[in-house]
């Protein structure tokens, strides 16, 4: 926590987590890394994907953006498509399912993987501290699954008419990858509506951390790293602090990874992401393999790239390679 004023006695900075979020004493909040909000499209000119915004829960009020790829010769109007429930990143504190960067990513995935996507607008800290976002994402997944029942609430025809409820995936990037892990863990022990089963999950550069540094993470000042401070800010009441199992799935006393829901798992990392989460992602992958989990787990690493590079420059050759890995994972 930082506090400062200028010489005129203006508002005080009470939480300085720049560049992610800055909170002032008068209640105002700056989120410098937010990308612009963009509207849904009847048809995206580059991918031919259609999108729309919906309300899937009235209490609490929760929204999502849906994406539907254009039918092709092998994909007529009646063909059922794989469903992806997507959780966006942003350090639990910023960004939106409706921002330009996530909109572009979902258009690309819907088109290339030929999937219908529901991207969940989960609530953020500090207006809503964790575990709110975890619960929002679970409610979003349950809403999608409820379309397999006779009486879904707030049903949408894109999911009802086009969704294959035997092929439901969850996926996310950065903190969204952390959300994916925790929702997948819940899906392993708690039933989804209609007897629907989660097929798989992918975690791109997942936000995983802990109370002690590992690998190439900084030893000096570890508790003052942005990653450590963001977690304490976003989830101040977290039992176990930085070793809460929601942040550190390998912490002592954490639930067994053998209980992860689904039967397929993809974890990806960036080789230059040591200041963030590369070493954690690799150890998470190894721990899943060693846990006795009955599914198939894959790991992909781009050694000369940094955190979430595919989101910021999706047209680079390395980004295209990662996107193809995710697309192939969803299409198999």
Structural domains in the chain, sorted by start? 35-208+245-331 (3.40.50.1820)
pLDDT more than 90, % of the chain? 80
For 166, the 3-state DSSP assignment is strand
**CA angle at 205 for the pair 204 and 208, rounded to the nearest 5°:** 120
- Least Cα distance to 230 among 35, 7, 21, 8 occurs for 21
Indicate the DSSP class of residue 258: G
- Least Cα distance to 64 among 82, 81, 80, 83 occurs for 83
For 44, the 3-state DSSP assignment is coil
Whole-angstrom distance, CA of residue 170 vs CA of residue 174:
14
Contact 314, 305 (CB under 8 A): no
**H helix or E strand, kind and range, residue 86:** strand 81-87
The predicted-structure confidence for 22-67, as pLDDT tens digits, reads as follows 999 999 999 999 999 999 999 999 999 999 999 999 999 999 999 9
**pTM (2 d.p.):** 0.94
Tell me phi and psi for residue 118, to 5 degrees: -120, 110
Token pair for 1: 């926590």
pLDDT more than 70, % of the chain? 95
The predicted-structure confidence for 191-245, as pLDDT tens digits, reads as follows 999 999 999 999 999 999 999 988 888 888 888 899 999 999 999 999 999 999 9
For residue 4, the model assigns a pLDDT of 43
The predicted-structure confidence for 87-143, as pLDDT tens digits, reads as follows 999 999 999 999 999 999 999 999 999 999 999 999 999 999 999 999 999 999 999
Token pair for 48: 């031919």
Token pair for 146: 């409820």
Helix runs in the chain, H state only? 100-113, 132-145, 157-162, 175-189, 226-234, 278-290, 309-312, 317-331
238 to each of 80, 197, 231, 235, 246, how far by Cα in Å? 41, 29, 9, 5, 9
Whole-angstrom distance, CA of residue 189 vs CA of residue 259:
7
């Amino acid at each position: 926590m930082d506090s400062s004023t200028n010489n005129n006695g203006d508002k005080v900075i009470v939480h300085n987590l720049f560049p992610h979020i800055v909170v002032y004493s008068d209640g105002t909040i700056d989120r410098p890394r937010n990308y612009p909000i963009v509207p849904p499209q009847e048809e995206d000119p580059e991918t031919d994907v259609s999108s729309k915004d919906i309300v899937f829960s009235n209490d609490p009020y929760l929204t999502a953006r849906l994406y539907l790829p254009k039918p092709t010769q092998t994909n007529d109007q009646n063909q059922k498509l794989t469903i992806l429930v997507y959780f966006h990143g942003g350090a639990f504190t910023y960004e939106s399912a409706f921002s330009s960067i996530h909109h572009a990513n979902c258009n690309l995935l819907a088109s290339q993987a030929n999937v219908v996507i529901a991207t969940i607008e989960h609530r953020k800290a500090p207006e809503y501290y964790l575990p709110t976002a975890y619960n929002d994402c679970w409610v979003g997944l349950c809403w999608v699954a409820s379309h397999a029942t006779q009486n879904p609430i707030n049903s949408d025809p894109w999911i009802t008419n086009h969704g294959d409820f035997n092929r439901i995936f969850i996926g996310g990037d950065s903190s969204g990858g952390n959300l994916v892990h925790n929702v997948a863990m819940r899906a392993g022990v708690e039933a989804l509506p209609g007897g629907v089963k989660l097929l798989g999950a992918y975690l791109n550069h997942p936000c995983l951390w802990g109370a002690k540094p590992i690998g190439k993470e900084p030893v000096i000042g570890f508790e003052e790293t942005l990653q450590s401070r963001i977690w304490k800010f976003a989830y101040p009441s977290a039992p176990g602090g930085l070793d809460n199992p929601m942040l550190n799935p390998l912490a002592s006393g954490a639930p067994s990874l053998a209980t992860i829901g689904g039967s397929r798992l993809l974890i990806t990392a960036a080789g230059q992401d040591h200041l963030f989460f590369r070493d954690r992602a690799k150890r998470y992958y190894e721990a899943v393999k060693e846990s006795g989990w009955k599914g198939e787990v894959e790991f992909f690493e781009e050694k000369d790239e940094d955190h979430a590079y595919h989101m910021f420059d999706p047209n680079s050759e390395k980004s295209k390679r990662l996107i193809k890995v995710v697309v192939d994972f969803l299409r198999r």
